Chain A
Amino acid sequence: MEAPVTDTNRTESTHDVDLDKVRSEILSKYPTKVARKRAKQILVKPGGAGTDIPEIGANVRTVPGILTQRGCCYAGCKGVILGPTRDVINIVHGPIGCGFYAWLTRRNQTRPASDDSPNYMPYCFSTDMQDENIVFGGEKKLKQAIQEAYDIFHPQTISVFSTCPVGLIGDDIHSVCREMKETLGINIFGFSCEGYKGVSQSAGHHIANNGIFQHVVGLDDTIRGGEFRINLLGEYNIGGDAFEIERILDECGISLISTFSGNSTMEQFANSHTADLNVVMCHRSITYMAEMMEKKYGMPWIKINFIGARATAQSLRKIAQYFEDDSLTARVEEVIAREMPAVNEAMEANRPLCEGKLAMLFVGGSRAHHYQELFSELGMKTMAAGYEFAHRDDYEGRQVLSSIKVDADSRNIEELSVEQDPDKYRLRKTEEELTSTGQIYREYDGLIADMKPNTFVIDDISQYETEKLIEAIKPDVFCAGIKEKYIIQKSGVPMKQLHSYDYGGPYAGFKGAINFYREIARMTNSKVWSYVKAPWEKEPELTATYAAA
């Protein structure tokens, strides 16, 4: 049988590739100033035990013309954080594009309580600014748009998102929102998330956190749920991830008061301050919220991870550990014991198909780390990883927070000053009580700590760098997003979208792990790659090419 051409092309000793040499080759192509800048954002994790975590350049402006993966502040605010909430009408104040592109393109699934409860997610609302609105201002049109949205839909909440031109022409969306809130008597608030703010989606996360915290969290003090009440922060229910997590928590007897913001409602956000613990999935996008809630309401937070079966089990145990309740601990162990046989069966079935293969992950601000769990469960090694827009703490761990300098490009992103709420503050556990639970709170060690020695960590990777990595390391699967998908597949490398999951999922939790094992086994073993070359291209030129090379 003929070997697939893509396999014969692979270097046998990929593990021995000299990454420092690859790195200098990459940098040598850039103009001097660009090379100097990129050098800080491309590092090779040193070998040996006890080595310090190296410093990486992150959350700095994008090099113009370099072909970045990054998006903008508006995408981070509207697209990521507020997009998944079903009972709010999100009006995009701007020309039509921003609203159109964020319309149903992130797979935030949602499950309304009944057939007539609000779900505005399939809709796209925009003020569709025209040139006369740029010239004479768009406030009047925005006000009218809010009125029309109210008249047609009668929502409980309307929010407004600024796009690039709004800040420039000086429309004051916040005063329009205040005025309309008063007139209509529903909650209306805005986000100044113009696309040029900050250097990436990250600024938009921060702005969204601030907005929800100021305008929604704490509005409803009703105590809901059972004994063990948590919020899940930074889980957006792509492909049903949150549904699977909800299922598991439910089986453990843990009450989920709110999720920020997969399968969420404004009602849940309003009530979220009544929970007793915040658990953080996506550290980058939502830790602002966790920190503000701790300060104002006295609720501690822990970093958890529901991607990977082992990580899911460990996260459940961490939650149980916080509550220090034997029955909960027993229930959690019971659930883990019940779920793991199917997981192990799938792992064993798929591991032989994947073992020893190489992965690369360049995704957003959290998945490039979390998904390494799933690959390691399959016996695969992550050779390179990085984020589009994470900050140094997501790479190096939160201990570096105090040494991070905010540069000129991000200085204008508002940092809220938060005080203890005189009425609603309730210290859940003192520092001593937290310590005695035997785990560490408010901590995240970052991506680099989990990378193996002699691997690449690259921030804000460019198209050119992606191609060079593929050429040098020849991964068996490359994870990134839709813009990268077909470029990478044209190079003969299977590509897994870890934003949209290629329209599959869920990948979180126990069932998600099973889905992912099968998916990666399929991708790395599909026959299709063996048909890339036509028979007449395979022989005899192939041999001749190799002889010449």
Chain B
Amino acid sequence: MLLRHTPTEITDRKALMINPAKTCQPIGAMYASLGIHGCMPHSHGSQGCCAYHRSTLTRHYKEPVVAATSSFTEGSSVFGGQSNMLQAIDNIFTVYEPDIISVHTTCLSETIGDDLTQIVKKAYDDGKVPEGKHVIYAPTPSYVGSHVTGFSNMCKGIVSGFAEKTGEQKNQMNIIPGFVEPSDMAEVKRLATEMGVKTVLFPDTSGVLNGPQTGRYHMFPKGGTTVEELKSTGDSMGTLALGSFASSLAAKFLDTKFKVPCRVLPLPIGLVATDRYIDTLRKFAGVTVPDSLTFERGQLVDVMTDMQQYLYGKKVALFGDPDQLIALTEFLVTLDMVPVHIVTGTPGKEFESTIADLTRDSPVPVNIKSHGDMFQLHQWIKNEPVDLLMGNTYGKYIARDEDIPFVRHGFPILDRVGHSYFPTVGYRGGLRLLEQILSALLDRKDRDSSEESFELVM
């Protein structure tokens, strides 16, 4: 047993986090910054954070992830990191020539209280920022929230750094896709385009973190939301924020500052949530839904109808990021499955009440925890076994020990590919998820059935 020391008996823990279902803010900010075209993320802290964040994103995407760091030493940790950051800005623009540097912080620079606003202003005043280039920033203290919070903070940093209001409304919708895969971002955009809605999607990592092999390395790939697009977000008709934990902060900022009205929706994972996304967009933008999307929807419902017998009543344990879990829980309920243990590492009471609401008709008691960990999830599973486990790669240890079919979903996925190329949002994403769930369950059925009951057709 890999997790041989995890006891079935659950004791109360107040201080010790074991096997977290979250990581820290800056990696989310780094990911969001990579969704801007021509942008170099910059980590204002000691260099270990930057190395770890780059490594984790690289392992997840199997793609280059470039970011710079202020490389604090003990001296700068005592006297402040201003000179490190000014040097860094100068070096980055001179050597790597990005259009934008997007700065986030770590627990180090936040604890010592470096003032990003003041340092960035000084960089401009001292002429360290070349003409036509930009430095934007967001504070991302690692001791608050999680990587999702960091993504959210940087999304706000992006709009507060770029958005303008010219007074001339543009016939376009802002869409903040949430902390999702590049493939999901592309799919969210495709659905809107299919409906004839012009969008500014930000951040947008498609084409950045799922790019092609061309034999030539480009530090700043073609993808990413452009500065022009980002500036125009203040003139848009409205903002759709997908996933309240990741996206609502930036959307509300645009609403408050530029009176761009916003709607916050769950991530469009699964049938009902995608319906909601499409329908909201339809009403918001005043368009009709094309037959092509109704057709896609029908395909998803078709497979749900066809395979219902394998899904009904199956118990599922889930862990991951709150926006994904809320949407997944709703999808599983739609499939007549029964989510029984649901853990996010990200703090937020809203998570627990939302999930409780979605599972209120559950035939069995449901364990829900925000700011929880995978150790507790594992203990819950030992006490109340499940038919399926869904979550990031770290779930494979529980899946192996408890012999549970396992579907990888969320961040990070370090041991498989596919997530960055095939979406799980939208109707097509719903089909992919359904396929993954069914394959996991049916593979298990094939493995476990006796020779005489081994089926050719299912």
Interface residues of A (CB under 8 A from B): 5-6, 9, 29-31, 34, 61-75, 91, 94-105, 115-116, 118-120, 122-131, 133-134, 141-145, 147-149, 151-153, 163-165, 167-169, 194-199, 408-409, 412, 462-464, 467, 481-483, 485-492, 532-533
Contacts and interface: CB of A to CB of B under 8 A. Distances in A.
B87 interface: yes
B287 interface: no
25 contacts: A5-B215, A62-B69, A64-B68, A65-B89, A66-B95, A67-B66, A68-B71, A75-B48, A101-B55, A105-B56, A122-B3, A123-B5, A123-B19, A124-B19, A125-B17, A125-B18, A130-B144, A134-B111, A152-B7, A164-B46, A165-B111, A195-B47, A487-B217, A491-B215, A492-B215
B421 to A, nearest CB: 15
Nearest to A153: B5
Interface string B36-70: 00000010011111011111101100111111111
Interface stretch (B8-16, B157-165, B180-188, B402-410): B8-16
Interface string B366-382: 00000000010000000
B91 A65 contact: yes
Contact of A196 (B2, B26, B46, B219): B46
Given A96-B22, A486-B64, A195 B49 contact: yes
Contacts of A102: 52
B141 interface: yes
Interface residues of B, number: 84
A131 B94 contact: no
B47 A62 contact: yes
A533 B59 CA distance: 25
B294 interface: no
B74 to A, nearest CB: 5
Contacts of A533: 214-215
B65 A483 contact: yes
Contacts of A65: 42, 68-70, 87-92, 95
Instruction: Name which of B1, B4, B42, B45 has the most chain A CB atoms within 10 A of its CB.
Output: B4
Nearest to B55: A482
Contacts of A482: 55, 58-59
A133 B58 CA distance: 31
Instruction: Choose among A69, A127, A134, A142 the residue with the greatest number of B CB atoms under 10 Å from its CB.
Output: A134
Given A97-B27, A165-B143, A196-B76, A145 B66 contact: no
Scoring A31, A167, A483 by chain B CB atoms within 10 A of each residue's CB, the highest score goes to: A483
Closest 6 CB pairs of A and B: A72-B48, A65-B88, A97-B24, A144-B15, A101-B52, A64-B88
Given A152-B11, A196-B77, A123 B3 contact: yes
Interface of B: 1-5, 7, 11, 13-20, 22-27, 42, 45-49, 51-56, 58-59, 62-77, 84-85, 87-92, 94-96, 106-108, 111-112, 141-144, 146, 211, 213-219, 345, 375, 394, 397
B266 to A, nearest CB: 25
A487 B66 contact: yes
A141 B17 CA distance: 11
Given A97-B107, A145-B15, 10 more contacts: A9-B215, A61-B73, A64-B88, A67-B67, A95-B107, A96-B22, A100-B23, A169-B111, A196-B74, A487-B217
